[in-house]
Structure 1
Amino acid sequence: MQAIDVNLPLPFVKIKQDGTILSFSKTAYEEFNLLRGNLYSLVDGESMAKLQRAIHAEGSATGVEIHVKSSRSDLSLYEVFISIDENEHANLLFRSKDNDTSILMERLLSLQTRLNDTDFELLEKKEQLERALRRLDVLSGPFIPLSEKIGYIPIFGDIAEEKLRVISETCLQNISEGDFETILVDLTATGSIEEAGVRRLIDFLKTIEIMSGEKARLIGVKPKAAEALSRNGIQNYVLTASSLKRVLWQYFYEHSLT
């Protein structure tokens, strides 16, 4: 059992069919008590059969909801995305379903503290600005379903860490709600590049591969962006193409032959 040097935004665990943990991400180590070395020891009894059925099913399973012992409570609800590799090992990605409530409580407590020493009107304006900036980040990387199997994510403006964090969060939610096989990420309209933004983009692309079972298609990479992406090893996690038109033509041509 070993930790992997991958900064995924969601907890990731690789196991054998019997539940033995082979590797895990830093977020998984922080989220769960993995010292026993077997993931099944953390899964609630009623959820065990559901998880094992999903692992032994052919292909990948999307959105399997199970209760797992976490560092926060005895049992927490998670949505698990599963893919099986060539060695019959299961790659599991966990998304907390309790998280929305936890985040809301944290925000309410934070707001209560700030109200004690901050002018309310100024705080209200600040929150309005934060919501507007977040909305702008969401619109800078919308998820567009081109079909039931193809998702398209055009990214606009600078490749910045906070922007990619927001885009990742919203797009991964959309991907989890569908049955997408091919995800296209278009960098044609991007501007300047931040190193932290590139690392966040790579984490996003890694997660797409785990969730969909296929590498994302990266489109419209400019020379300057290509240098920064290559320096961070992005070639291991994506397939590249020159244009959206070419990718779609190839996709529909290949599927017309099947």
Structure 2
Amino acid sequence: MSHVTNIPVPYFQINHDYKILARSKVADELFPLVAGFLELVDGDSMTKATKYLRIKSGTSQFELVMQTTTNPFSLFEVHLSWNMDHTCEIVCINKDDQSNQLFKQVDRLHSRLENTNYELLEKKNELEYAMQKINELSGPIISLTEKVALVPLFGELTDEKMHYIAEKILRIAHEKNQERLYFDFTGVGEVTQEGVDELQGLFKTLWYMGQIEAIIIGITPKQAVVLNHLDTQYPLKFVSTLKDAIKDLYQKV
């Protein structure tokens, strides 16, 4: 059992009933102590989890929203492999950690690139790649109910970033027949006018596509000045905090 405990990643071994037989120390630190693996899976990810787990053969890779000891909605890349003895080995890689690592990488690159023009040329491609990955990882869609989802935004809100985000949001909103989307600005820094223009285009498309309501959470006074120019010919609501948004949501459920 010790070799399992010392595996340096979040690792689980489960049986055919999805009961946890063993778990690594890293998993103990990251996840609540539960008897069954599915107890760690968010309700809206349950269908996907059971779909892959019930195959009970071969290997699979997919993403799940899971509960950790610090966050009830964390995105994980899950790798599983079934054994001949009908046990399954699962490794969970935290996608939130990957996003944080990319942000730190970009911060380090910015600092170094300010020192010399030589490093600017040398690291240009690396910086552009990291920025592209951040844009792709920004704006994850987290289901709150069957028809309502949360979209946390991070970093500077630019037209390039919104271009990456909008395509993903529109596709998922259509597939899941969403009725309301909360856009959380808590992690947003600077907001460019070009980014606001792209954001307005996204809100309009959501409304015309299926009268999907957009609600903005947690903007600062500085951001409000730029967002003040948003077109209000379609429903658009602002709330102060995510807590207020969740409270408002469950009052309507």
Which category of TM-score, normalised to the shorter sequence, fits these structures? 0.3 to 0.5
RCO comparison, higher one (Cα < 8 Å, 6+): 1
TM-score w.r.t. length of structure 2: 0.47
TM-score w.r.t. length of structure 1: 0.46
